[in-house]
Amino acid sequence: MWIKRDDLNSAVCGGNKVRALEFLLGGVKRGDTVLTVGGAGSTHVLSTAVHATRLGAGVAALRWTHDMNPVAEIVSSRIGSIIPGSNVGRSTLLALARARLRSVTSDVRYIPLGGSSSLGVIGHVNAALEFAGQIAQGAAPRPRTVVLPLGSGGSAAGLLLGFAIAGIDVVVVGARVGPRMFVNQRRVLSLARQTSRFIARITGEPLPDIDTRRLRIAHAVYGGAYGRPLTGAVEASEMLRGTTGIQLDATYSAKAFVAALGEARTARGGGPTLFWLTFDARCLTN
């Protein structure tokens, strides 16, 4: 198994969300207001708050309750310290509706759930192209599978499209962390195709078709609820931390690591498994 250290893609609070925010926060300046949504312990909300405030913008976030774990509690506390008065409601749908209404009635920069829009997904297309360059330079072998957490779907969609553009024959495995109704293959493929059309419209260049066989969802690591720790993930996380110093979170990366271990153990040739590390533990303290 190899690990893509996407947690180190920013000097401050890195991780997969920074990839999308590089585009979604484009043009934001001091005095602007950024509005986003997410769960109480959302790393997306935290990352948005950290990087928007670094630009001098104000941040508002509408959040909702879900199963919590120790890292999610710390994330929620950090969000509260950066966004005073960021209350947590009980209804996901109400929070999303209120955010959408405010986005069209107020002068705010709206960042969608998880940053998963065509514009945000471009950041993850870039990530795939970056990794393709690392393979070409001999820094890493071509993997058989790339495993990462699957929530709002933007990261997986971007990698799927980016690898297709780079001509890399690899299967993207999304470790599902949310309810199947909202976290599924159809959503990822839809985001990838929307982004492909978006890029083609801007550049005037045709992009390759998305091969649906290059996307697989790992449902067994869900854990039963968003934010609920997965049985067995604690031991796997402690093993990784003891050998590499890498800290995982129970909501996303620990579940994906369990899925990656399963992929590596059942591999029958064709290259190693790549675990795409999306969580930056520095966000908890810096």
Domain presence at residue 161? yes
Question: Which residue type sits at 270?
Answer: G
- How confident is residue 270, by pLDDT bands cut at 50, 70 and 90? confident
146 and 256 share one domain: yes
Q: At what angle do helices 118-136 and 16-24 cross, to 10 degrees?
A: 120
With a cut of 90, say whether residue 286 has pLDDT above it: no
Look up tokens 């971007």; give the residue: 158
Are residue 29 and residue 59 in the same domain, yes or no?
Answer: yes
Pairing of strands 145-150, 2-5: unpaired
- pLDDT of residue 198 exceeding 90, the answer is yes
Residue 248 sits in a domain whose CATH number is 3.40.50.1100
Taking Cα atoms as reference points, which of 95, 89, 63, 90 lies closest to residue 78? 63
Confidence of residue 87 (pLDDT cuts 50, 70, 90): confident
Q: What's the CA gap between 240 and 210, in Å, rounded? A: 33
Mean of pLDDT values over 101-109: 95
Domain residues for 268?
A: 2-6+117-284
Q: Which of 114, 141, 169 is the last residue of a domain?
A: 114
- What value does the mean pLDDT of the chain take? 96
CB atoms within 10 A of CB 224: 10
Give the end of a domain, one of 89, 114, 139. Answer: 114
The helix (H) or strand (E) run that includes residue 58 is strand 58-64
More confident residue, 85 or 168: 168
For residues 32 and 108, state if they share a domain.
Answer: yes
11 within some domain = no
Indicate whether 151 and 252 sit together in one domain: yes
Whole-number pLDDT of residue 86: 84
Percent of the chain at pLDDT exceeding 70: 100
Q: Residue 277: pLDDT above 80?
A: yes
Q: Does one domain contain both 135 and 157? A: yes
Percent of the chain with pLDDT over 90: 95
Q: What is the pLDDT of residues 59-82, one digit of tens each?
A: 999 999 999 999 999 999 999 999
Mean pLDDT computed over 169-182: 97
8 A C-beta contact, residue 77 and residue 49: no
Domain count, the chain: 2
